[in-house]
Each structure stands twice: as C-alpha cells, then as structure tokens.
Amino acid sequence: MQLYNKLSANERAELIEKAGKERLTLSFYKYARISNPQEFRDQLFIKWDSLDVLGRIYVATEGINAQLSLPADNFENFKTHLDRIDFLENVRLNIAVEQDNMSFLKLKVKVRDKIVADGLNDETFDVTNKGIHVNAEMFNDLIEDENTVLVDMRNHYESEIGHFKNAVTPDVDTFRESLDIIEDDLKAHKEDKKLVMYCTGGIRCEKASAYFKHKGFKNVYQLDGGIIEYTRQVNEKALENKFIGKNFVFDERRAEKISDDVIAQCHQCGKPCDTHVNCANDACHLLFIQCEDCKAEMDNCCSSTCKDINALPYEEQKALRKGQGNSNDIFKKGRADHLPYKKDLRNIFETLKK
C-alpha cells in the first residue's frame, strides 16, 4: 500500500502535461480534536492519492491545514469525501484567485505537533474560543473605524508585496514571533480598541484571535476566509477592494495579483517589482524579490558568488555541497545582507505611537 509520494516534481509535471486536464488549486483548514493524527494522515493519503490530489497538508491533534490542487473533474468526489468526515463536513474551501495546473507537484501529508507553529505551551489556552468572524463588507466598514487597529498576521516577506491599506505589518519571520510583539505593543488598548486581524486564508488569524482573547483583549475580530475569500467576495459583490498589491501564496505560483499596485522593489537593483524567486544555486535557495533585468544578468541567482557556483557542472556543485548544511540565508526570506534593497527593519507600531 502506497503511503508516500514516489514521483519527482519533474515526473509529475510531465504526467500533468500529458493528462491535459484543468486542475483546481484550493486550501482549507479546521481546528478540531484528532485523537490519532498518524492514522488519519494515512487514510487521507490513500484516498487523495486515488483522486490525483497534490499539495502540502499538515495534520496534528489540533486539526488540519491543507493547501492542494486536484483535477477539476474530481472536485465533487473530493468534496463528498470531506463531507463524510464529521469535523470537515461543509468546511469552507478557499478556491485560488489565480489557477495554475503546476501549483503543486507532489502530495505531502505530514503529521506535525501543530498545524500552525505558535511556540505556545499554555494548556489553559483554548484555540476554539476564537474572535468574531467578519465578511468582506463588514471588514471594510471595521477598518474605517478610528478605534480599529488592523494587524497583518503574516510574515514580512508576505506583506512586503501586498497588504491592506493602513495595516500594521509586523516585521517578523514567523507567526510565533508576532504574538508576543503584538500583545506587548497593544497592551494599553485591550479594552478601548477593536483588534482586527487578517492573513492568507484565515488559519493564523483564528489561532491569534483565540490567543489575544485569552490574553484579555475584549474586541477581537478576524477576516473570515482571509485575503482569498475577501477577494472572492469583493469580485462577486462589486465591493471596494482595500487590498493593495499581491497575496503571497505557499505554492509554485508564489503570489496572486489582487490589485495592479506594485508596492515592493527588486532586492538587487531597487526597481519596482513584486516577483518572489528562489536563488538558482541549490546550496542557497534564498527566497527574494528579483526583476526580469536582474534575473537575466544574475542567471536567477541572488549574488555573484551563487551565480559562479550555479555555472559549474552539476557534479562539481554537488561536490561543493557535500557535508555542508544550508546557508543561514535560506531562512532570512529576502533579508540577506548582500541584497542592497532588502526590506528594512522598523518599529511595527510606529504609527500608533505618533
């Protein structure tokens, strides 16, 4: 019985090309009590592999977080399967704003300690005691209120290419970093301000809203379905779009365009640009923003050193990597010192303190 992916990304891409079928990219999450995550994980893999599902799925005792693609003509069978799982019946599926048949090239279903790493070890914290969910129209009204603090619960490299107008964008590399920072900077406003949060699809906000309620915040709201669902409602109901730029996504597409605004810049030359790439040098693989001119000049690399290494024959590159761990730059997500136009660190709540 096959319980793990056995094809390479290139082999899978060839199969998708040959099949000639349109695929849907979507995501969903659900906080729930799963007593045996490993058994649940194996059952999901067997069923989803049979439906040609590809993606990155995390399962934990606290629930499931899924980002995936599947042939459009398998969607109804997939939905029927979800509805037969008690806690996933009628779960909201966030359909991607922009579709791409190659958004995922492997099926990875992994058991994790948590579906969203938060660094919390507080047994009194109840993740199901969440904040008030608001739709796109209510969200637009809320963020115009002078008593509202709008907080982006994503990481710096996500908000760098797109965010809501007037949002506080924490300069953090991980979700777990943002929780204490936000609580500390807003501790004086636990009762008099409306704390409104958003993220890509809602999963981080749901946990954060429960956490901040646990910490004593009285008026906590989250954008239901995140940026993805907000965009769908804006388009469907002809609402004013208050999101500027692109929505970063964690698949091969890397981003969805929500507005025509380009709010970021190439990390190498400073030109307006919001296209994330990974350095072509496999020993580096740094995620950073690169324009087409720099891409051509640098051969898809983040530095001259990486460019030189990437030009070597594959076997020589492999020999250089032998015994070496990944460079720490891989974790900096565009903050490597050799990028002259990387995003600057700043006080995330400076607007509140003016």
Instruction: For tokens 């500390």, name the residue.
Output: 184
Distance CA 75, CA 55 (A): 14
Among 262, 333, 258, 250, smallest CA distance to 291 is for: 262
Task: From the candidates 199, 205, 301, 306, give the one annotated as an active-site residue.
Answer: 199
Q: Which DSSP helix (H) or strand (E) runs through 244? A: strand 243-248
**Under a CB-based contact definition with an 8 Å cutoff, are residues 337 and 308 in contact?**
no
Distance CA 13, CA 169 (A): 36
**Phi, psi of 178, deg, nearest 5:** -70, -30
Three-state SS at 140:
helix
Q: How far apart are the first and last CA of the chain?
A: 62
- 294 classed as catalytic: no
DSSP state of 277: E
The two beta strands, 148-152 and 276-278, are: unpaired
C-alpha neighbours within 13 Å on the C-beta side of residue 73: 4
Instruction: List active site positions.
Output: 199
